[in-house]
């Protein structure tokens, strides 16, 4: 068995420890992990980064960007991967995150190259959306056969869906379950790709 894990030895974050919108910061918390796991210096301490990104997204510039990209949007900037990538790149000062409609194979190649992937899925809802997690690794039965996907879940201790992982770190999800919770019957999924 082979395991790839880009977050080995690195601390994951918990959205419930944030100050702005703890119940709604899975997105900025996962994004902060994506930044950290790909090795980029941050303008504030790692633990403060989710709130920092939330402040960027909730700024007049964040709302203006949302309205420019999605005129008439009936959601907040922090609920859009496009806006989150904008805030991340603005905070870091260069493009380290892009948004893409990716196949699972493209996600695998990105993780194999050392990149982090933020993906939305039904990790709490049972559908294919509603909660962001950070894909940090893969388990292989051999050199090519993936059996499991490893994620860091920002909901951490509060997510009882994963009985053996109360800290939200390195949660192992069987590949068929992961596909069901994220892609459903679709061939592509909108993701945030974080580069080293």
- Position 166 scores a pLDDT of 54
- Position 178 scores a pLDDT of 94
- Position 144 scores a pLDDT of 79
In angstroms, the CA 166 to CA 168 distance is: 6
Q: How confident is the model at residue 135 (pLDDT cuts 50, 70, 90)?
A: very high
Token code pair at residue 104: 């699972």
Average pLDDT, whole number, for the chain?
92
8 Å CB contact between 116 and 135: yes
- Asked if residue 164 has pLDDT above 90, the reply is no
3-state secondary structure of 77: helix
Please indicate whether residue 50 or residue 172 has the higher confidence score (pLDDT): 50
Tell me which DSSP letter residue 159 carries. -
β pairing state of 116-121 and 171-174: unpaired
Q: How confident is the model at residue 158 (pLDDT cuts 50, 70, 90)?
A: very low
- Asked if residue 58 has pLDDT above 80, the reply is yes
pTM: 0.92
- Position 78 scores a pLDDT of 94
Tell me which DSSP letter residue 124 carries. T
- What number is the average pLDDT over the span 182-194? 97
- What number is the average pLDDT over the span 143-150? 90
3-state secondary structure of 169: coil
- Position 160 scores a pLDDT of 45
8 Å CB contact between 52 and 19: no
- Position 124 scores a pLDDT of 77
């Amino acid at each position: 068995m082979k395991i790839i894990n880009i977050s080995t030895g690195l601390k994951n974050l918990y959205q419930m420890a944030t100050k702005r919108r703890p119940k709604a910061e899975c997105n900025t918390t996962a994004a902060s992990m994506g930044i950290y796991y790909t090795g980029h210096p941050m303008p504030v301490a790692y633990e403060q980064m989710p709130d920092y990104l939330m402040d960027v997204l909730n700024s007049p510039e964040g709302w203006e960007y949302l309205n420019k990209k999605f005129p008439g949007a009936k959601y907040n900037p922090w609920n859009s991967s496009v806006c989150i990538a904008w805030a991340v790149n603005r905070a870091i000062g260069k493009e380290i995150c892009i948004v893409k409609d990716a196949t699972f194979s493209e996600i695998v190649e990105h993780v194999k190259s050392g990149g982090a992937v933020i993906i939305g899925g039904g990790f709490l809802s049972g559908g294919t959306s509603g909660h962001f997690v950070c894909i940090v690794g893969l388990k292989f039965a051999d050199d090519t056969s993936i059996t499991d996907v490893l994620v860091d879940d920002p909901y951490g201790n509060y997510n009882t869906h994963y009985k053996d992982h109360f800290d939200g770190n390195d949660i192992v999800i069987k590949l068929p379950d992961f596909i069901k919770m994220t892609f459903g019957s679709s061939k592509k999924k909108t993701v945030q790709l974080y580069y080293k």
